[in-house]
Amino acid sequence: MKSIVLPIALAVALATPLAAQRPTPPAPPPLDPQVAAMRDAALAGDTVAWDIVEGITTEVGPRMAGTEAEARARAWGLAKLTALGFKNVRIETTKMRTWVRGGETAEVISPFPQKLRLTALGSSGATPPEGLTAEIVYFPTFGDLQAAPDGSLKGKIAFVSNAMVATQDGSSYGSFGSARFVGPNLAAKKGAAAMIIRSIGSDHGRGPHTGQTNFEKGVTPIPAAALSTSDADNLSRMVKRGKPVTLHLTLTPRDLGMTETGNVIGEVPGTDPAAGLIVVGGHLDSWDLGTGAIDDGAGIAITAAAAKRFLDGPPPRRTIRVVWFGDEETGGAGSDAYFAAHKDEPHALAAESDFGADRVWRFAVALPDGAKAVGDRLQVALAPLGIVRSKEKAGDGADIEPLVKAGVSVVDLNQSGTRYFDYHHTPEDTLERIDPVQLRQNVAAWTAMLAVVANAPEALVKPK
């Protein structure tokens, strides 16, 4: 038998007791009993978040940005925040380019005739009213589509079938999502007549996942749709049998031109205006297939429910401003309008909730150098909820992106993504997906976070 020779450094490390290798971590800061009390009260008994998400899904339902349904959602939001006791409640409107769904059908003509379930992607172009018939060109991955020679897709339907898998941190959405975000634009530039993708989702059902796609200026939008994961896998199996596959596709979405959208805003006034304001929120709009429960009824509910707890107790040092952004899904007119109107106000910190209603498992911060202790206090306040600290720098959220880019401090409260993409942007995004126990854990986390940051004695507004 060959003897194993350990490198000296490794041999020494193995021989040294563990305690001697690691410096003793500094003692954590004490937990403010007021923070703990507010957190625990939310965890035990919050009903406001459920009331909001149940209310908006029941009384408004689907609310595509820029449509009359979003206008009804704004009116609903104004009434709700007013009834909850928020101050300075108002709607701030802006204009946006609005796309709406039409008819959408697909069937395999040959070699195995059958109907397929799909849904148009936001910004998709339209087929002729009678539809189009073309052969598909199959790409297992987005990279394969990128490698296709220019002009090689002329008159064809490009089909990218990459299969997203779920991860707790949701990062696979970014890596698999390119097929949707930019695939149709690329296929259009290569001459394709249309493009279909396997839904960017982790389920195995027949409910397709919609979502926005983006065409560059100068590229004419082609019809673009997502097959349900099940239908995409079926179509992939047909391709693998080796014969040309011909599809008949009908998509008739419309562009409504410029219409109105708007943000709904309410505040918990603080005692020290010079300390800056805290912005929290999510987006009011939703896709049209479900009722927008996890995306993002939950986010507006969680953030408003946490802020509401400061209306019922001693006022916070910093004003807490709740913003329900009007358009996030189809281009972000809501966040652009908010930033244009409020960028000169002293923003101390921003945080967004837009990842469903499952439990918060991790947090991250981006704070000024002089406020590092705030992160340590958050760690102590959030640990009893099973929330760990990330080493990554915070900065999540499309709605607060302009603020983050401008250097405003951020806290991310990351929710578990293990089942979010089973339902994301599908007909199954309904109230049944919300677990009230996990929803309360979210409200408790947001309450604790706000209790720490809104009352922090450190300076949070970065000097201009």
Q: How far is the CB of 299 from Zn ion (least distance, A)?
A: 7
Q: Which C-beta is closer to Zn ion: that of 224 or that of 245?
A: 224
Q: Which C-beta is closer to Zn ion: that of 46 or that of 288?
A: 288
Q: Which C-beta is closer to Zn ion: that of 275 or that of 357?
A: 357
Stretch that binds Zn ion, among 162-170, 252-260, 337-345, 347-355 (CB under 5 A): 347-355
Residue span 263-282 as binding mask against Zn ion, x where in contact by CB under 5 A, dash where not? --------------------
- Residue 428 found at the interface with Zn ion (CB under 5 A): no
Q: How far is the CB of 249 from Zn ion (least distance, A)?
A: 24
Annotated catalytic, 401?
no
Stretch that binds Zn ion, among 62-70, 295-303, 311-319, 446-454 (CB under 5 A): 295-303
Q: How far is the CB of 207 from Zn ion (least distance, A)?
A: 15
CA distance 43 to 223: 46
Which amino acid would we find at residue 9?
A
Q: Which C-beta is closer to Zn ion: that of 276 or that of 334?
A: 334
- Residue 295 found at the interface with Zn ion (CB under 5 A): yes
- Residue 260 found at the interface with Zn ion (CB under 5 A): no
CA distance 458 to 29: 15
The 3 state secondary structure assigned to 201-266 is CCCCCCCCCCCECCCCCCCCCCCEEEECHHHHHHHHHHHCCCCCCEEEEEECCEEEEEEEEEEEEE
Distance of CA 432 to the CA centre of its chain: 19
Q: Which of 296, 396, 412, 422 binds Zn ion (CB under 5 A)?
A: 296
CA distance 295 to 298: 7
Q: Which C-beta is closer to Zn ion: that of 267 or that of 288?
A: 288
Q: How far is the CB of 356 from Zn ion (least distance, A)?
A: 9
- Going by C-alpha positions, the residue among 364, 365, 361 that lies closest to residue 387 is 361
Q: Which tokens in the block code for residue 108?
A: 């395999």
Which amino acid would we find at residue 49?
A
CA distance 327 to 284: 7
Which amino acid would we find at residue 433?
R
Count interface residues toward Zn ion (CB under 5 A).
Answer: 3
CA distance 117 to 21: 58
- Going by C-alpha positions, the residue among 460, 399, 445, 93 that lies closest to residue 303 is 445
Q: How far is the CB of 328 from Zn ion (least distance, A)?
A: 6
Q: Which of 328, 329, 352, 428 is catalytic?
A: 328
Stretch that binds Zn ion, among 3-11, 28-36, 293-301, 435-443 (CB under 5 A): 293-301
Q: How far is the CB of 5 from Zn ion (least distance, A)?
A: 56
Stretch that binds Zn ion, among 99-107, 292-300, 344-352, 413-421 (CB under 5 A): 292-300
Q: Which C-beta is closer to Zn ion: that of 43 or that of 327?
A: 327
Q: How far is the CB of 238 from Zn ion (least distance, A)?
A: 30
Q: Which of 203, 354, 399, 428 binds Zn ion (CB under 5 A)?
A: 354
Stretch that binds Zn ion, among 287-295, 337-345, 437-445, 447-455 (CB under 5 A): 287-295
CA distance 342 to 136: 48
Q: Which C-beta is closer to Zn ion: that of 104 or that of 295?
A: 295
Stretch that binds Zn ion, among 66-74, 141-149, 155-163, 290-298 (CB under 5 A): 290-298
CA distance 231 to 367: 46
Q: Which C-beta is closer to Zn ion: that of 221 or that of 297?
A: 297
- The site for Zn ion (CB under 5 A) is made up of 295-296, 354
Residues taking part in catalysis? 328
